[in-house]
Structure 1
Amino acid sequence: MALRYKNILSDERAADALPMRFTVASIVLLIVVLLCASAISTMLENERIRDAGAVLSRIDSNAKMMSSQGEGSRVTIDINIPAKVTLVLGGLPGHENKWPEDARNHYIRAGSRQITGESTASYSNGGLNGTMVLGPGQHRITLESVKRTSDNRIFVKVYES
């Protein structure tokens, strides 16, 4: 059936469905934007964790050498911990009060994620009485190997200079 000029002007079926098309298109666009935002957020968090892992690796490599050489070594290094990331040296998540049993452990906390690791070096804070927590930002830290007299164990004290 051929449409005539008069029928096209008076046929309103397409105009009736137009608000529904806009609604569906808006919902689909909103879903796509939310998925993109979630993917970008996850990507940025993974980047922060990777950067924190590089910082932790640098600290741990120095601490391992110092621990193997015995007491008396001291190194000062500058580090930058990414935003929304915390490094904990000498403990496990939720068990920080079990120091010195967990002194060889460390972890990265980024949001709700916690990545744990183990080292051959035993970590301590500057007072030789617990874990060392480093928050986001620039830090100048000193690593110092000391022997605890109560059990002759070598610890790497980590404190801010």
Structure 2
Amino acid sequence: MPEGVSVDFGALPDRQVKWPADANNYCVHTGEKSTFYYSDASFSNPELNGPVFLGSGRHRLLLSTKLEPMSERLFVIISENGTLNKI
């Protein structure tokens, strides 16, 4: 992602504690501007206990799905294999 850009998957700014209620939202931050999006997918970290935040730079992501047994909600699990300095 370009310098100054970040993305929050599964959370809205200042509402991170609302996960998983906001798990189907994502937000793109570019400088002072934030743009919010709704998704039919729900997003989670690999531990299935919170949102995912990606900052500027190169990322290698692994996407998988998992059914959360309590709510029977299907989540897109976003795992990062480390930030890549060189690709």
What TM-score do the two structures reach when normalised by structure 2?
0.88
Q: Aligned to 1:100, which of 16, 20, 23?
A: 20
List gaps (5 residues or longer) in structure 1: 1-80
For residue 85 of structure 1, report the CA deviation from its aligned partner. 0.7
In 1, Cα distance between equivalents of 2:57 and 2:46: 19
How big is each residue's C-alpha offset from its partner over 1:82-128, in whole Å with a ceiling of 9 and x where there is no partner? 11111000011111110000000000112221100000000001111
TM-score under structure 1 normalisation?
0.49
**Greater fraction strand:** 2
Q: Over aligned residue pairs, what C-alpha RMSD do you find?
A: 0.8
Structure 2: distance between partners of 1:119 and 1:151? 18
Aligned to 1:127: 47
Higher normalized helix content (fraction of residues) = 1
Q: Give the fraction of aligned pairs with identical amino acids, expressed as a percent.
A: 37
SS in 2 for 1:128: coil
CA distance in 2, matches of 1:151, 1:97: 17
User: Which structure 1 residue ranges, 4+ long, deviate > 2 Å from structure 2?
Assistant: none
Tell me the SS of whatever aligns to 2:3: coil
Give the structure 2 partner of residue 83 of structure 1.
3
Higher relative contact order (CA 8 A, sep 6+): 2
Over alpha carbons, which structure has the higher Rg? Answer: 1
